[in-house]
Amino acid sequence: MTDRPIVRLRPKADARRIRWGFPWIRSDELVLDRRTKALPAGSIVDLEDAERTPLATVALTPASRLPARVLDAPGTEIDADWISARLARAAVMRDRLYDRPFYRLAHAEADGLPGVIVDRFGDTAVIQPNAAWAEVRIDDFVTALRDLGIDRIVKSASGRARAAEGLDDVSETLVGEMDGPIPVEMNGATYFADLTGGQKTGLFYDQRPNHAFVARLSRGARVLDVFSHVGGFALAALAGGAQSAVAVDGSAAALDLARRGAEVGGVSDRFETRRSDAFDAMADLAGETFDVVIADPPAFAPSKSALTNGLRAYERVARLAAALVAPGGYLTLCSCSHAAGLEKFRAASIRGIGRAGRGAQILRTGGAGPDHPIHPQLGESGYLKALTFRLF
């Protein structure tokens, strides 16, 4: 064992969960005495159960709602070599799955790096250190990423969890210089990812398999992509042979990037963008129909406290979008809300479709691609839901 600080579970806390691989310890499960509260955020400590049996090596942020995050077995040294090994292990799997290094390289707890997101764009990466232990070791992450052949590294501080960890919201370029958005080829389409000014890491790799499925449905179809971001489903549909596609988003910058993607892909003559609030746009389109409609909104229910209102918003999206689908056409509804599980999201979607007076059958239930693995003890790591319906 090391001579690191020791923290302990409360007597009534269930130590079996930790032994079986659960990665979080809540504040009501941990003895947070004056000594523990005085430890700096991001400290690496040894966790013991109430009987002083070693349980795990954890990262500690005493003031957080999740003060301890499991990193490894008891007594493990968490240093630059450990971080390098974890990232290398993650890269091996992605390089087996994808022909080119454009993917999510590290998916937080599911890759044994709690609170850490890394998206790779060839020789460039965006890292989101959403936990204090990673923030204070950012130099070790930079070294490890450079060892993987990554020459430009951007730190995104846009993650919601950073505030709870006592971290700032200042993003910066850590290594190299960014000279504009990066082109990314997926499913036959080209997207442009703004790594310094776009949403989150600049591109949503998680939707890759859902883009591909919708593209197959879109051959010869008229497509409406609502909450489109940088072209999302619309560009994939056009690459798959759609007759036309309309992308709706509230961000002018995102739609500019979508148009660049359409131009590079040679489909700009079949592509239209509309800058608008998505709900307003769907209401304004009432009376028009499309063969394929997709709605991929932001997280309406990012927390349990937002769940009720979030489900109402998903129901409203479903109602408005369903009204725009031609008879026999297809509707894909997505949710990236951690708090809204699949059953609740599906129920809200079905209610909305029913309120639009439409009959439906579910064709497919999708999630994120395999570069977004799911931690077997943490359902939240499987956050993305994509439901495709055929409407009558």
Residue ranges per domain, the chain? Answer: 6-72, 80-175, 182-391
In angstroms, rounded to a whole number, what is the distance separating the alpha carbons of residues 223 and 242? 7
CATH number, span 80-175 = 3.30.750.80
Distance of CA 164 to the CA centre of its chain: 18
Kindly list the catalytic residues. 336
State the angle between helix axes of 232-239 and 252-264 in degrees (0 to 180), rounded to the nearest 10: 10
Residue 61: DSSP 8-state: -
The closest alpha carbon to 227, from 274, 265, 180, belongs to: 274
CATH of region 182-391: 3.40.50.150
217 closest CA partner among 293, 285, 274, 320: 293
Question: How many whole angstroms separate alpha carbon 103 and alpha carbon 220?
Answer: 29
- Residue that is written with structure tokens 């639009």 in the block: 356
Predicted confidence at residue 2, as pLDDT, reads: 63
Alpha carbon dihedral 272, 275, 280, 281, in 10-degree steps, equals 0
**What 3 state SS string does 313-330 have?**
HHHHHHHHHHCCEEEEEE
Return all residues near 189 (Cβ < 8 A) that are at least 6 apart.
Answer: 211, 231, 235, 236, 238, 239, 261, 265
Of 375, 317, 362, 309, the C-alpha closest to 340 is 309
Count CB neighbours of 195 within 10 A. 23
- Count CB neighbours of 89 within 10 A: 13
Paired tokens of 155 = 């730190």
pTM: 0.95
CA distance to 213, 326, 385, per residue, from 359 (Å): 21, 12, 21
Question: How many CA within 13 A on the CB side of residue 224?
Answer: 24
Contacts of 288 (CB under 8 A, 6+ apart): 324
CA-closest candidate to residue 389, choices 367, 355, 358, 343? 358
Task: Answer whether 296's CB lies under 8 Å from 233's CB.
Answer: yes
Q: What's CA 196's distance to the chain center, in Å?
A: 17
**Predicted local confidence at residue 202, as pLDDT:** 85
Give the CA angle between residues 161, 249, 380 to the nearest 5°.
Answer: 30
| Cα distance between residue 16 and residue 331, in whole Å | 43
Contact 60, 68 (CB under 8 A): yes
Q: Concatenated DSSP letters for 282-324? A: HHHTTT--EEEEEE----S-SSGGGHHHHHHHHHHHHHHHHTT
3.30.530.20, 3.40.50.720, 3.40.50.920, 2.30.130.10: CATH of 6-72: 2.30.130.10
Could you list the pLDDT tens digit for every one of the 392 residues in the chain? 568 999 999 999 999 999 999 999 999 999 999 999 999 999 999 999 999 999 999 999 999 989 999 999 999 999 999 999 999 999 999 999 999 999 999 999 999 999 999 999 999 999 999 999 999 999 999 999 999 999 999 999 998 889 989 999 999 999 999 989 999 999 999 999 999 987 778 899 999 999 999 999 999 999 999 999 999 999 999 999 999 999 999 999 999 999 999 999 999 999 999 999 999 999 999 999 999 999 999 999 988 899 999 999 999 999 999 999 999 999 999 999 989 999 999 999 999 999 999 999 999 999 999 999 999 999 888 899 999 999 99
187: left (phi over 0), alpha (psi -120 to 50) or beta: left
